[in-house]
Amino acid sequence: MTQNFETQKPDEYAPGPDLRSYGRRHGRRLSLRQERLWQGVLSRVAVDLAKPLELGSGEIWLEIGFGGGEHLVWQAARNPGVLLIGAEPFRDGVIKVLDRIEAEGLGNIRLHADDVRPLLRWLPAGCLTRVFILFPDPWPKKRHVKRRLVAGRLFALLFRVMAPGAELRISTDIGDYARTMLLALREHRGFVWQATGPEDWRSRGSDWPATRYEGKAIAEGRRCYFFRFRKMCP
């Protein structure tokens, strides 16, 4: 049965400091080519939070924590009329996407190489029609659970920037995290879970490609959970 949650105002979650929700920011030293991508291509496609977002006539989608960028690039290539914004603090992942942008001539990707929360506060209200959060850092140790990104405060930020009826896709391979995600969304009450049966959260669907993190989870014997939600309409 489709889960209905009552609409809640986004300011019902009190603001607070943003705890770090990701691990390292840098990997190996950059090669000369990677340095050129970082300095050159990123300067062309980076989101500038000092300026207002130029809203065109097409849809705007956001991927939070795109990792190696497989999903972000796949969606951009198949949806040329959509502007894809990707947020990722890990430099190596950003460079992988910069490489694909240059190699494939993708002109509909913009990147925010940092924590997504300042970006969410900057985006205009109701501008996003789809948001992806795929296999976020699980922070499995009990003392680190508070650092999990997918929680009530994030949903409050998303509620403001997503248009009525906009779709939110979330996946994880950690059962405990899946449970806390659903509890947080139930508490927020601004989203409708689209599941009508178990297969709706056990499979991705044809327009939701696999990522390296899903492959790793399957190889290590973990079940993956795929959730689809809609923002409640007024």
What is the Rg, in whole angstroms, of the alpha carbon atoms belonging to the chain?
17
- Residue 165, number of CB atoms within 10 A of its CB: 11
Task: Kindly state the DSSP code that residue 2 receives in the 8-state scheme.
Answer: P
137 catalytic per annotation = yes
Of the candidates 11, 18, 92, 137, the residue annotated as catalytic is: 137
Cβ within 8 Å of residue 229, ≥6 positions away: 167, 168, 169, 170, 185, 191, 192, 193, 194
- Residue 33, number of CB atoms within 10 A of its CB: 10
Yes or no: say if 53 and 121 are a contact pair by the CB < 8 Å rule. Answer: no
Q: Which residues are catalytic?
A: 137
